Structure 1
Amino acid sequence: MKSIQSTLLFFSSFLLMSLIGMSAYSQASQDGWISLFNGKNLKGWTQLNGTAPYKVVNNEIIGTTKAKTPNSFLCTEKKYGDFILEFEVLLDPTTNSGVQFRTNSSKSYNNGRVHGYQFELDPTARAFSGGIYDEGRRGWLYPLSLNPKGRKAFKNGVWNTCRVEAIGSTIRTWINGIQCSNLVDNVTSSGFIALQVHAIYNEKNAGKHIKWKNIRIKTNNLESERWALDPEVKEMSFLINKLTKNEVDNGWRLLWDGKTSEGWRGAKLDHFPQSGWDIQNGELTVLATDGAESTGPGDIITEKVFSSFELELDFKITKGANSGIKYFVDAELNKGPGSAIGCEFQILDDKNHPDAKAGVNGNRTIGSLYDLITAENLSTKGRSKQFKGIGAWNKARIVVKGAHVEHWLNNEKVVEYDRSSQMFRALIAYSKYKNWSKFGQWPSGHILLQDHGDTVHYRSIKVREFN
């Protein structure tokens, strides 16, 4: 009898454990999360580009820095489109790293160089962890200069819990429950996940460790899993000549429609120039003439005037090019030779155009308030202003709220001033604008794109006004 009871007890226990196991398996299936790392080996992963070593210890993937090798990437063999990715990371506070997503590698692109979106891991004082960098292509898309609160999310010396939501064209990141970025970009829709060990160039920096664990991904029922947005985290869109719903809801509108000259005219004309400004493929281009100021087709201005506003646009320059974005322009002041009069966000090839060495202390370089205030990185101490180079698209932003004005270059603030201040008036008194009464202090004015005789391209010109 005792033997029968023992046998029944065994089978009852076995059945109960089986049911619990089935329930757990069912729950995992319902949740839809898939582990990308089995905790034992690197099955399902492959290494690309550099030769820094990766190994598995105590259910962790450990990458180790190695000198004289390019960036190393441990990549999933499978590619993913829309997903939510979560992982934990712990890295040496003296090294940089990242986690790639929607990333690719092909011989046709830089001989197989890994390229795509990267969740930045930055333990330095710059504190850009959780920002989004476009590895091997466009550089920074969402630096944490856009989100000071997010710069405090990452903690050195402990495990950090990270999350990426890549759904359609929206890409959002969190660290330890704090939202870091909110990007809209549609350049790449799918690719692999990869763990980066950054290249180092000094042997003394070799042997530093980056550790990852609990790497999991979800690819279905994503909308219901989205985390709530922090309203203080700025949305940054790289859509071309389009507005997001959020932008429309917040008062943005396209200042150029991407197809016609509607809303614009020549600064010294009652119509748009008949030649010299080209509209093709969603780009508004001033064509090269003789490199002089407004001796070709001339500047163009908005038909409407603006007072308090935020202006954003993309620009791309050719070698040695000069142009500018002017605001508070009074088109009636200068009917003779030269450009119309207004405050100017300088656009310039600093390396190849002589104007970069003119003026005072670099106040004619790219991003500067032309001839008045020199552009420098005000967002991140010790970091240079960020110009992405000739032939690359760069982002300019001008923010005017009453007397307060800011210039932003590629999402980092480079100029800030009060146009009603005594200091501003003193700068005017010693500049080329000294003969224009109350220059820069007019209540409103046109927005202008300058013809300076060089080929420069513009697109995605948008604006919102403040009360």
Structure 2
Amino acid sequence: MKMFSKLFLFLFSGILFISCSNGAQKSDDGWVDLFNGKDLSGWKAVAGTANFEVVDGVIVGSAVAGSPNTFLITEETYGDYILELDLKVENLTSNSGIMARGQFDPAARDGNGLVYGYQVEADPSERAWSAGIYDEARRGWLYPLDLNPAAKTAFKMGEFNHYRIEVIGDEIKTWLNGQEVAYVVDDMDSKGFVGLQVHSIRNPEDEGNKTYFKNVKIKTTNLDPKPFSSSIYVVNNRLNELTDYEKNTGWKLLFNGQNSEGWKGAYKDEFPDFGWSVNDGILTIAESDGGESTNAGDIVTKEEFSAFDLGFEFRLTEGANSGLKYFVTLSEGNKGSAIGLEYQILDDEKHPDAKMGKEGNRTLSSLYDLITAQKQGRFINPIGEWNKGRVVVEPNNHVTHYLNGLKVLEYDRGSEEFRELVANSKYKIWPNFGEAEQGHILLQDHGNRVSFKNIKLKSLK
């Protein structure tokens, strides 16, 4: 009996040693420690030559000159989970991040390997997009913090910052030091590793800059998602489908993805019976003669809106021109396209309208003929790919245009500055242009093939 007890004790001790040494220790509440506080068991460094070590119970990553981004990744992959950890950076150049469902191609970059996929940002720079969501080495920014500016102050430089990341189904949500930050709905990756990043450095004098990680834990069973208490913008990549969160916070679809319900032709009682089509969840205006509203014509919402948050996606063909107009009253009786404030939709490179107007105020995402959008090339997807537009009109008449999550312009309807712009534009012939209390949303037929989807709106009060 004593021999059996000793054997049992020996076997149990061995099992305990193995479970502790691989870095994954499960607690009674379902959380598993991915980092054992002693060594890097269960992790491996890939894609670069930055150094990772354990110092006083903390993972310390040190930047190396000439190295690309380096990632310490878990040997195990995960599907749905909640991840929490603490992260600290001490230098403004030490951009970092946390890979969620990360992917690794060992053969890429001539066998040096490439990490790609969802990354939750640590951004100590003046831009302050920490806990925003980036698609590393693939699509770029999915959720820049221009979409949630209130969260830009959450990151604390030189201190440990607590991250919470929920990756459940096709939804990714992030918190930083308790602040609700980002919400993305996307199904490109259903599982992958957890990764900790040491970013590449541009200046050799930044070699040795350190990033710190501790208290890394994950929960994969009996998940209890934490609801967002405030209303933030959701980057939703489902096709014409709102999340429950969006529905509960007042969003509705303006285009149902199936038919033209809710829309009609401008200056018409019914929806055009040619030109516009709905196929596979996409609303498209056909190519015609390149003229402004000379074929099927513009379409407008049957409903009118005053203050609102409007999101939409558009896809241009080469050389195409279109626009999304708001505060369209249909009262001017003009020929051609109906009058309204216009979010310009244009191939800036190949359509001549981009070179007209004043200082680029007829280019993509500009307030047409009035205010030029301040765009960055990296935030413009190529012709033939989808781009995300957004227009926010606040109850105080402050208006903001976004392109792929980046704020590109803002103005105040009815202000003295706004009226001066109108007085020097093509709109000067219409009294009180752009100042209607409410109006329709319009999609323009400019004779070029352009497609739309995921048109959603929330009324603001």
| TM-score normalized by the length of structure 1 | 0.84
Unaligned runs of 5+ in 1: 1-13, 378-382
1:400 and 2:415 are equivalent in the alignment: no
Residues 327-379 of structure 1: CA deviation (Å, up to 9, x unaligned) = 1223353553x3221110111233443322321122112221100112237xx
1:40-439 pair list within 5 angstroms: 40-93=38-91, 94-106=93-105, 113-223=114-224, 226-227=225-226, 229-231=228-230, 233-331=232-330, 333-334=332-333, 336=335, 338-376=336-374, 386-402=379-395, 403-439=397-433
2-structure distance, mates of 1:325, 1:109: 41
Contact 2:26 2:33 in 1 (8 A): no
C-alpha displacement at 1:28, in angstroms? 5.0
Contact 2:134 2:140 in 1 (8 A): yes
* Pair 1:309–1:57, CA change in 2 (3 A): closer
1-structure distance, mates of 2:423, 2:109: 51
Residues 191-243 of structure 1: CA deviation (Å, up to 9, x unaligned) = 111112223344343332222222111112221xx446342554443332011
* Pair 1:199–1:253, CA change in 2 (3 A): same
Unaligned runs of 5+ in 2: 1-8
2-structure distance, mates of 1:67, 1:317: 41
What amino acid maps onto 1:181 in structure 2? A
* Pair 1:183–1:260, CA change in 2 (3 A): same
* Pair 1:32–1:49, CA change in 2 (3 A): same
2-structure distance, mates of 1:29, 1:136: 35
Identify the range of structure 1 (325-334 vs 93-102) with the bigger mean alpha-carbon deviation.
325-334
* Pair 1:68–1:287, CA change in 2 (3 A): farther
> 1:465 matched to which residue of 2?
459
* Pair 1:228–1:293, CA change in 2 (3 A): closer
Q: Percent identical across equivalent pairs? A: 50
Q: Secondary structure at the match of 1:101?
A: strand
C-alpha displacement at 1:313, in angstroms? 0.9
Q: Secondary structure at the match of 2:426?
A: coil
Contact 1:138 1:388 in 2 (8 A): no
2-structure distance, mates of 1:100, 1:466: 35
1-structure distance, mates of 2:109, 2:443: 35
Q: Secondary structure at the match of 1:70?
A: coil
1-structure distance, mates of 2:227, 2:449: 44
Q: Secondary structure at the match of 1:427?
A: helix
| TM-score normalized by the length of structure 2 | 0.85
1-structure distance, mates of 2:453, 2:208: 45
> 1:10 matched to which residue of 2?
none
* Count of paired positions: 437
Contact 2:263 2:299 in 1 (8 A): yes
Q: Secondary structure at the match of 1:248?
A: helix
RMSD: 3.0
Contact 1:385 1:412 in 2 (8 A): no
> 2:449 matched to which residue of 1?
455
Q: Secondary structure at the match of 1:341?
A: coil
1-structure distance, mates of 2:274, 2:115: 42
2-structure distance, mates of 1:178, 1:162: 9
* Pair 1:425–1:335, CA change in 2 (3 A): closer
C-alpha displacement at 1:431, in angstroms? 0.6
1-structure distance, mates of 2:247, 2:215: 38
